[in-house]
Amino acid sequence: MMRNLTAACAVAALAAYVAAAVPAQQRYQGPRGRDKRPDFNGLWQTMNTAHWNLEAHSVEPTPILELGAIGGVPSGIGVVEGGAIPYLPAALKKRDENRASRLKLDPEVQCFLPGIPRATYMPYPFQIVQTPETVLMAYSYDSAARIINLDGKPPEMPVDTWMGYSWGRWEGDALVIETKGFNDRTWFDRSGNFHSDQLEVVERFTPLTADAITYEATMTDKAVFSRPWKISMTLYRHLDRNAQLLEYNCIRMTEELRYGPLLKTTFK
């Protein structure tokens, strides 16, 4: 009897040790698809201030007096690992110039496509539709979308684009997506953080629970940054019974801003 009890205790201790040693993502107990991969189908959104500024920042008033508290910038602890984005000296100067003129220069002001990774943490939800072969990500903002084939092969990249070209693969329970082929016109946030057309992004979507994903993105751009750098945050599933992706069609809001001077031009 004592021998059996001792053996049972040893087995229990071994099981506890193994459980502690296995990374959390390998112990994921949430829903899975028919291919046994984590099921990410659904609406997702962040709950942070990364869309204002990826780095830590204090409260700032709006430069538009009439907006008062509505247009203020809330404080944030930042999502950049190590605290600061590793800009090259000339690029840091340009970032500061961007920030000083953000109301004029930020592509979001004119409803241009957000790029990657910015699309993920804008203050609007996005939807994941997942099959064993392909992942579709559809974004509320500006009807942005991307289709990611999961064969691990880069697609053809005939021209640079706002959203780049994405392809993916699974590493255990983590969905890994690589994206390149960007133009140099998107920003990372509303604070002037930018990149060149040499940007390469590697994203990791790792299930935390059935309703939360750990999101990580590593950026490499030798023309702008001294080394690769990484952001990390949590994505949360929308759990409302009637949750659905609604279009934020901002194009019509910016027509006057974009084309007003042209429309007012008279030809003789």
Read off the CATH number of the domain in which 207 is found: 2.40.128.20
Mean pLDDT for the stretch of residues 230-238 = 98
Instruction: State the pLDDT at residue 267.
Output: 54
Of the pLDDT bands very low, low, confident and very high (cuts 50, 70, 90), residue 225 is very high
Spell out the residues 6+ positions from residue 43 whose beta carbon is closer than 8 angstroms to its own.
125, 126, 127, 237, 238, 243, 244, 245
**Residue 20 belongs to some domain of the structure:** no
- Joined tokens for residue 217: 């993105």
- 49, 19 Cβ separation under 8 angstroms: no
Confidence bin at 255 (pLDDT 50/70/90) = confident
Given a cut of 80, whether residue 10 has pLDDT beyond it is: no
Residue 24 belongs to some domain of the structure: no
Rounded-to-integer distance, Cα 209 and Cα 219, Å: 26
Domain assignment present for residue 12? The answer is no
Residues 236/209, Cβ–Cβ less than 8 Å: no
- Residue 199 domain-assigned? yes
pLDDT band of 202, cuts 50, 70, 90? very high
| Lowest-confidence pick of 3-17, 19-33, 234-248 | 3-17
Domain housing 88? 31-263
pLDDT at 4 over 70: no
Q: Is the pLDDT of residue 242 over 50?
A: yes
Residue with the two structure tokens 């659905």: 244
Q: How many domains is the chain built from?
A: 1
In a domain, 1, yes or no: no
pLDDT of residue 266 exceeding 70:
no
Cα–Cα separations (whole angstroms), residue 116 to 120, 139, 165, 166, 259? 7, 12, 10, 10, 26
Residue 155 in domain: yes
Distance CA 203, CA 219 (A): 9
Element (H, E) at 255: helix 255-263
Mean pLDDT of the chain: 90
In a domain, 126, yes or no: yes
What pLDDT does residue 147 have? 97
When pLDDT is cut at 50, 70 and 90, the band that residue 22 belongs to is very low
Please tell me the predicted confidence (pLDDT) of residue 259.
82
24-33, 88-97, 170-179, 181-190: lowest mean pLDDT where?
24-33
Phi, psi of 43 (to 5 degrees): -100, 135
Q: Position of tokens 């959203």?
A: 163
pLDDT above 70 as % of the chain: 88
Q: How far apart are CA 9 and CA 6, in angstroms?
A: 5
Residue 7 lies in a domain: no
